[in-house]
Amino acid sequence: MSVGDPISPSAPLGPPLWRQLQLVAGVLAAVRGGTSGTAALDEVEPGLRPGVQAIAFQTMRWLGRGEALRRHLAKRTPPPAADALLCTALALAWDPERAPYEPFTLVDQTVEAAKRQPHTRAQASFINACLRRFLRERDELVAATEREPVAQWNHPRWWIERLRRDHPQAWQRVLMADNGPAPLTLRINARRTSVARYLPALAALQLPARKVAEQGLELREARPVQQLPGFEVGEFSVQDAAAQLAAPLLLEGLKPAGPALQVLDACAAPGGKTAHLLERAAAVPVQVTALEIDPQRARRIDENLARLGLQADVRVADAARPESWWDGQPYDGILLDAPCTASGIVRRHPDVRWLRRESDVEQLALQQAMLLAALWPLVRVGGRLLYCTCSVFREEGSRQIDAFLAHNTNARLLPSPGHLLPQGGAGPRGLPDNALGEHDGFFYALLEKHAS
């Protein structure tokens, strides 16, 4: 099952539902404790992981509603494990039209899940009473939670308020887009094939797709990528349409100071943008240095490049400390995909909204400013730095760049997309001329260095 897939009620259950609900509640408890949903799901047995992920994603998308209903049903917050199980059931069952299984079945299996775990067995009767009352009074309880912003929008209150300040005309559209699954979008490897040649291979599998961005295809129906034609031989990568703008923005019109463009991908893992930079090298050769501070994530860059038939100078290094890895030769271009809140990719990682704290925004903005300050001296005069984040918050986007420009008089902002807000298939597109269609939230600023 691919990230963001909806749950099919008619799909075979496989393991009993009560066992899957136990594991989903465990993922929720881990997220509440500060562990990412990705890391928590990695601990689930591989054979159970796809089903658990699908149910967990739906739980995270409607957790605000589930928690609000639990507050109406229980005067006191139950112990953490029992609360996670109860909120999981309520998030899944609150709307029968969205529920992956019949609400009565979810209630029955949640109680069974509670009975079969030592650390929730004592609360099984309490969970049963809450959920049976929910079934009897569902319409009234749901109506009572409609007045609560967190229940209505299924995001933390601070997130809603910040988004409303940052994007007063679009905040509701962004929140609604966040609560839907993201499409599966491919980036076709121009070194191996083309969009025109790859489309018939999808059509043969009865998989309709439409062209997006420059080399992208958005599939109407998600499939495991290993089942798609050409995966093992590197004919495509999975990459959101908005993320596919990075390489063209940096490289278009950029002239090398020497025989080849010298490009730095400063925060490169898992290597999608590194690969795209190399895939676009045609008339002008491109030599890419890819940095990643985490050795395990750096290995993923090597693995992804190997599958695509590409090569880069991959180094385990801290981009914020050039003195430890830079040879003093300036770069023609630097791609800085900076660490951020990931507030623009909530459709793909619905746990992010519950994992982040408001204080994270300021801390990450400081880290972004440090990276900009450290890397700007490495750009040659006439060269470029592309700053991007997968965030919708202005603190990590336009305000960050405004502050940078105010303190660096040798920097000029070139035409850039700025804030691209998540699109869920409705409303105006972020960049109509690029035919992005659905895409994640991103920010782009292209900076050119001139002589002081």
Catalytic residues: 390
DSSP-assigned letters across all residues of 149-200: HHHHH-S-HHHHHHHHHH-TTTHHHHHHHHTSPPPEEEEE-TTT--HHHHHH
Half-sphere exposure of 378 (CA within 13 A, CB side): 27
Half-sphere exposure of 240 (CA within 13 A, CB side): 24
CB 28 within 8 A of CB 22: no
Q: Print burial letters for 321-347: b (CB count within 10 Å at least 16), e (below 16).
A: ebeeebeeebbbbbbbbbbbbbbbbbb
How do 236-238 and 184-188 pair as beta strands? antiparallel
Task: Tally Cβ neighbours within 10 Å of residue 407.
Answer: 11
Can you say whether the dihedral through the CA atoms of 288, 289, 294, 298 is positive or negative?
positive
CB 182 within 8 A of CB 4: yes
CA distance 248 to 352: 28
How do 331-337 and 379-389 pair as beta strands? parallel
Question: Residue 79's Cα: distance from chain center in Å?
Answer: 30
Tell me the β-bridge partners of 439.
423
User: What secondary structure letter does DSSP report for 340?
Assistant: -
How do 261-265 and 331-337 pair as beta strands? parallel
- The most distant pair of C-alpha atoms in the chain lies apart, rounded to whole Å, by 74
Dihedral of the CA atoms 164, 241, 424, 353 (nearest 10)?
A: -50
* Lookup: tokens for 427: 């409303």
